[in-house]
Structure 1
Amino acid sequence: MRIKATLERIPGGMMVVPLLLAATINTLAPDLLRIGNFTEALFVDGAPTLIALFLFCTGAQINLRSFGVSVGKGATLLATKWIVGAAVGLIAYMLADSNGLWLGLAPIAIIAAMTNSNGGLYMALVGQYGNKEDRAAYSLLALNDGPFFTMVALAIFGTMGFVDGMFSIVSFVAVLLPILIGMILGNLDEEMRVFLDKGSSMLIPFFAFALGMGIDFKAIIEGGLTGIILGLLTVFVTGTAGYFIFKAFKWNPLVGAAEGSTAGNAVATPAAIAAANASFAPFVELATVQVAASVVTTAILLPLYMGFLVKRLEKKGYRVEEGDLVKMQG
């Protein structure tokens, strides 16, 4: 059976399929895997440990030596994603209803999904529409993997009075320390970076399954539908913002649009945030499913949106040539 190949053909399949499978088990037979010992430790209670290990492996992939390469483009993409995502999250907090939701969306899900980006999808898109400088910018974009920028936004909103409770320094460091240790280790030893890179992808289905064991179908139906809205916001708001920001700098605007996605690892962010601040715990289940739905939506929609933008540029007399946008003659 070609299980891995089948999962990889599904957008975000390595994360979404285990999550939905676990949610199905939890809905129909919630005690099936709650039998104690190693089984329950791995498949039910393992999410915090698995997420921590995932963040450690992810941190090892942040290459400080490459920061000088395409730092301008990378920093611009990073800043655009964070500012736009945080701004929409702030609007959500300001307009939230009595349940703490906006358009059915948990604000924590909005920030987690819109400030994070799918690195693999970005690389695939700039491989088609960008140049080597655009691909090298990914070394900086790795910084938006994980909960750090989401925590920064929420900490700011806390000082503004929009978030109940603040992150203590100890809690903040406790979440980020695995990333920092991994980053130090990966930069000290290239072989360790390569070794830990395998863990980044391998752990995703395991912590996704464990997270799914805390979700029932009611939450999936509610979160899945609103999660599609979150995916639409991510593509059309952050992607379009990146497009026009790059256009303003006279860079290839298609590269800016290529950041309009949500990465599969963002599904772990709500749980990581709640681990640092218990006031977010009531929203973890809904936010996790909404982020998961955004992953799938953006993976399908962003390439289509990029195709639309290419056609739009061609109608204006431009084409992509060796990763650069050039004016067609005649």
Structure 2
Amino acid sequence: MQIKATLDRIPGGMMVVPLLIAATINTFAPNLLRIGNFTEALFVNSAPALIALFLLCAGAQINLSNVGVALGKGVTLLVVKWFVGAAIGLLAYIMAGPNGLFLGLAPLAIIAAMTNSNGGLYMAIVGQYGKEDDKAAYSILALNDGPFLTMVALAIFGAMGFVDGMFSLVSFISVLLPIVIGMILGNLDPEMREFLGKGSDMLIPFFAFALGMGINFEAIINGGLSGVMLGIATVLFTGTAGYLAFKAFGWNPIVGAAEGSTAGNAVATPAAIAAANASFASVAELATVQVAASTVTTAILLPLYIAFLVKRLEKKNKLQQYYQTAN
């Protein structure tokens, strides 16, 4: 039975197939694998640890002479993602109706969903289509985790001020540290670089499955059509913007498109902002379910969009060229 060969024929198959299988299990039989001990630890709760190990292995492949490229890519991803999300959110505020909604969407939900990206999904896609410095760029992209950048956008709009304590330097360092440790090991000992390099690809289907166990398809129903629209817009607008930005710099545009998602932790952003400023309390619940729907929608749609972009580049015989010049 050629399981690996079948997965390899599916664009992003090593990531998207385990993720969708797990999401299906979590939706219809959520307790099937939540039986404790090693089973639950590996298949349900392992995503943070496996992604951290993936980052360490990826960090070991980074040559210090290329670290500037990783920094540039990370900053580009972060800025493009935030700018597009903030701009569309501002447009939604300007064009909102008397009920404060734009096409049924809470502007708060738009900003929360579009300025925050799913790091696990990004790493899974980049693990298949990117290079080592693309993986290391996540250490900068991780700055959009949580409500901080959403609050920055709202502060710029004059809707609220900065809120103390919503961004933690320690949290940022905790994301960066596995990459740094791997980078140190790989640069001190080429044999360690080779040894750790064997681990990164193997980890992808396992942390993808664990990520899927945090997805429930019911979120799409609860969020309604508006939440699905938000997910589609997040993929098309922020993913395409990242694609075009990376293409303009001569980098692999597939990596830029990999930011076009909404992270699961963005679901908590509306409530966090409402807690900081009571003026958002009236839309917090609606925004929460819409962001949740966007999270699920982007987790399904982004890999399909990536597959479309990959085939488009392959037809033009340009994908291999980006692989060769990515570093």
TM-score range, shorter chain: 0.5 to 0.7
- Which position in structure 2 is the counterpart of 1:212? none
| Paired AA for residue 289 in structure 2 | V
CA distance in 2, matches of 1:320, 1:265: 34
Equivalent position amino acid for 2:269 in 1: T
Letter in structure 2 aligned against 1:76: T
- Secondary structure at the counterpart of residue 70 of structure 1: helix
Task: Output the TM-score relative to the length of structure 1.
Answer: 0.65
| Matched ranges for 1:68-107 at <5 A | 70-107=70-107
How far, CA to CA, are the matches of 2:317 and 2:220 in structure 1?
Answer: 45
The match for 2:305 is 305
Query: Structure 2 matches for 1:141-156, cutoff 5 A?
Result: 141-156=141-156
* 2:261–2:299 Cα contact (<8 Å) kept: yes
| Counterpart contact for 1:80–1:242, Cα < 8 Å | yes
Task: Tell me what 1:138 maps to.
Answer: 138
Q: Which residue identity is paired with 2:164?
A: V
2-structure distance, mates of 1:323, 1:223: 38
Compared CA separation, residues 187 and 297, structure 1 to 2 (3 A): closer
Query: What is the match of residue 273 of structure 1?
Result: 273
What residue number does 2:262 align with? 262
Q: What letter is aligned with 1:264?
A: G
**How large is the Cα RMSD of the aligned pairs?**
3.7
State the Cα distance separating 1:317 from its structure 2 match. 2.4
Question: Who is 1:173 aligned against?
Answer: 164
Task: Quote the Cα distance in structure 2 between the aligned partners of 1:188 and 1:221.
Answer: 36
Using the TM superposition, give the Cα deviation of residue 10 of structure 1 relative to its aligned residue in structure 2, in angstroms.
4.5
Q: Does the C-alpha gap of structure 1 residues 187 and 319 become closer, same or farther in structure 2, counting only changes over 3 Å?
A: closer
For 1:283 and 1:188, locate their aligned partners in 2 and report how far apart those are by CA, in whole Å: 34
CA contact (8 A) 1:227 1:290 kept: yes
- Distance verdict in 2 for CA 1:11–1:84, change over 3 Å: farther
What residue ranges of structure 1 are gaps of 5+ in the alignment?
A: 1-7, 22-53, 194-200, 209-216
CA distance, structure 2, for counterparts of residue 271 and residue 84 of structure 1: 22
In the alignment of these two chains, the number of paired residues is: 245
Contact 2:93 2:107 in 1 (8 A): yes
Q: Does 1:295 align with 2:286?
A: no
Counterpart Cα distance in 2 of 1:187 and 1:318: 33
- The 8 Å contact of residues 252 and 324 in structure 1, kept in 2 or not, is answered as no
Deviation of the 1:119 alpha carbon: 0.6
Amino acid at match of 2:294: S
Matches for 1:190-209 after TM superposition, within 5 Å: none
Instruction: Go from structure 1 to structure 2 and tell me whether the alpha carbon gap of 1:312 and 1:148 turns closer, same or farther (over 3 Å shift).
Output: same
Question: Does the 8 Å CA contact 1:258/1:306 hold for their aligned counterparts?
Answer: yes
For residues 282 and 297 of structure 1, what CA distance do their matches in structure 2 show?
24
| Equivalent-residue separation in structure 2 for 1:67 and 1:303 (angstroms) | 27
Matched-pair contact (CA < 8 Å) for 2:222–2:293: no
Matched AA of 1:173: D
Equivalent residue number for residue 286 of structure 1: 286
Tell me the alpha carbon deviations over residues 250-303 of structure 1, each in whole angstroms, 9 at most, x when there is no partner: 111111101000111100100111111110111111111000100111111111
- For the 8 Å contact 2:147–2:269, the answer to whether it is kept is yes
Q: Which runs of 5+ in 2 are unaligned?
A: 1-17, 31-47, 60-65, 182-206
Q: Which amino acid aligns with 1:125?
A: I
Give, in whole Å, the separation in 2 of the partners of 1:67 and 1:144: 21
Partner SS state of residue 237, structure 1: helix
Query: 1:59-74 residue pairs with structure 2 within 5 A?
Result: 70-74=70-74
The answer on whether the counterparts of 2:243 and 2:255 sit within 8 Å (CA) in structure 1 is: yes
Kept in 1, the 8 Å contact 2:220–2:296? The answer is: no
Q: Partner residue of 1:125?
A: 125
Higher deviation after alignment, 231-240 or 307-316: 307-316
SS in 1 for 2:105: coil
CA displacement 1:13-46 (0-9 Å, x = unmatched):
59x969xx9xxxxxxxxxxxxxxxxxxxxxxxxx
Distance verdict in 2 for CA 1:276–1:188, change over 3 Å: same
Whole-angstrom CA distance in 1 between matches of 2:114 and 2:283: 17
| Distance (Å, rounded) in 1 between the aligned partners of 2:142 and 2:27 | 24
3-state DSSP of counterpart to 1:240: helix
Q: What's the CA shift for 1:225? A: 1.7
Q: Kindly tell me: are residues 67 and 153 of structure 1, through their superposed partners in 2, closer, same or farther at Cα, counting changes over 3 Å?
A: farther
**Equivalences for residues 235-246 of structure 1 within 5 A:** 235-246=235-246
CA offsets 1:51-103 (integer angstroms, 9 cap, x no match)? xxx9xxx9xx9x9xx98671100000000000000000001001101110001
- Matched with 1:229 is 229
Report deviation, 1:174.
Answer: 3.9
Kept in 1: contact 2:246–2:253 (CA 8 A): yes
Distance across 1 between alignment mates of 2:325 and 2:90: 35
Q: State whether residues 232 and 297 of structure 1, in contact with CA within 8 Å, keep that contact through their aligned partners in structure 2.
A: yes
Report how far residue 322 of structure 1 moved.
Answer: 8.4
